[in-house]
């Protein structure tokens, strides 16, 4: 499918008769070809979700403003929350990182090879260690040291960079700082974090060594939107791998890092492709 000619339409509303037709019927009227569609009806919550990828008409010009106006009147009848996105648009993603470079490296590789259709206008870190990696990719790198006494000022600088970068998404690629409630609120719904899925059983320093001592049989990772509850935001995706007694702590760490990379990249992909809906403190992920 030619992304230059394609759009993504997402919508959610109360479960009612005619919701699918409200979307697909309008697309038919506009002579827009539906190339892909997923829906989900949450019977318990009484909420309907839909994601459609469509091609604009082959004949004539596509007036996006007129399309929006026409669909808005139809969507209003169902109380739909909806969004229209050009498929080829590359969102701006600001990455936060500390010293661990595995997730950053993976995201930069996927960005460089086109696997992730994003722009990265800034990398922000509380350490200088990964400056050369950012320089090699020609991406501005902002070293913002932080202490307990300077946390407010550092976050103000961070927020300024996010705003000036016109960031659509912020990714915490092993950024080892707890964001303040104020910054969490500002980034609500557009900041993704990654952590190992050994939580909450093994907290603090060297969780994989703690897990080894307990004979853990699974290692994994969780990617989620941030909120004011530490590592408990709405989950987007998770990864897991079986291990056994033969895996020493160093091997658990290596496997965990691999899973973190893949899980975080998948979450970013789902977000930028408009597959994630947040509702009642959790997520619906369509076409994952």
- Catalytic-role residue among 42, 129, 168, 231: 231
Phi, psi for 220 (deg, rounded to 5): -165, -170
Quote the CA–CA distance of 122 and 111 in Å, as a whole number: 13
DSSP classification of residue 228: S
Residue 206: C-alpha distances to residues 30, 178, 250, 255, 256 (Å): 57, 18, 10, 14, 12
Neighbours of 126 (CB within 10 A): 20
Q: Are 125 and 98 within 8 A, CB to CB?
A: yes
Q: Does residue 231 carry a catalytic annotation? A: yes
Cross-strand pairs, 143: 125
**CA distance between the termini of the chain:** 18
Structure tokens given for 86: 């050009």
Q: Residues 9, 21, 270, CA angle at the centre, nearest 5°?
A: 30
Q: Which residues are designated catalytic?
A: 231
């Amino acid at each position: 499918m030619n992304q230059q000619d394609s759009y993504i339409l997402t919508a959610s509303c109360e479960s009612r008769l005619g919701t699918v037709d409200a979307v697909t019927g309008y697309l038919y009227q506009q002579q827009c070809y539906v190339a892909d569609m997923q829906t989900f009806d949450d019977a318990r919550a009484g909420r309907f979700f839909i994601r459609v990828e469509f091609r604009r008409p082959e004949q004539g010009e596509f007036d996006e403003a007129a399309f929006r106006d026409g669909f808005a009147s139809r969507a209003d009848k169902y109380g739909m929350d909806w969004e229209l996105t050009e498929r080829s648009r590359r969102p701006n993603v600001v990455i936060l990182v500390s010293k661990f470079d595995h997730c950053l490296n993976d995201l930069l590789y996927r960005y460089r090879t086109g696997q992730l259709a994003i722009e990265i206008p800034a990398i922000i870190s509380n350490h200088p260690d990964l400056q050369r990696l950012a320089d090699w990719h020609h991406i501005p790198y902002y070293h913002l040291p932080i202490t307990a006494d300077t946390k407010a000022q550092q976050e103000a600088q961070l927020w300024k960079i996010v705003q000036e970068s016109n960031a659509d998404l912020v990714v915490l690629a092993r950024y080892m700082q707890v964001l303040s409630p104020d910054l969490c609120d500002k980034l609500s719904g557009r900041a993704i974090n990654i952590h190992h899925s050994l939580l909450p059983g093994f907290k603090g320093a060297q969780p994989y060594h703690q897990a080894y001592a307990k004979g853990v049989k699974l290692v994994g990772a969780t990617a989620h939107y941030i909120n004011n509850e530490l590592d408990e935001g709405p989950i987007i995706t998770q990864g897991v791998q079986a291990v056994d007694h033969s895996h020493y702590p160093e091997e658990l760490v290596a496997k965990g890092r691999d899973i973190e990379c893949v899980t975080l990249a998948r979450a970013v992909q789902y977000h930028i492709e408009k597959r994630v809906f947040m509702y009642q403190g959790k997520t619906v992920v369509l076409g994952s």
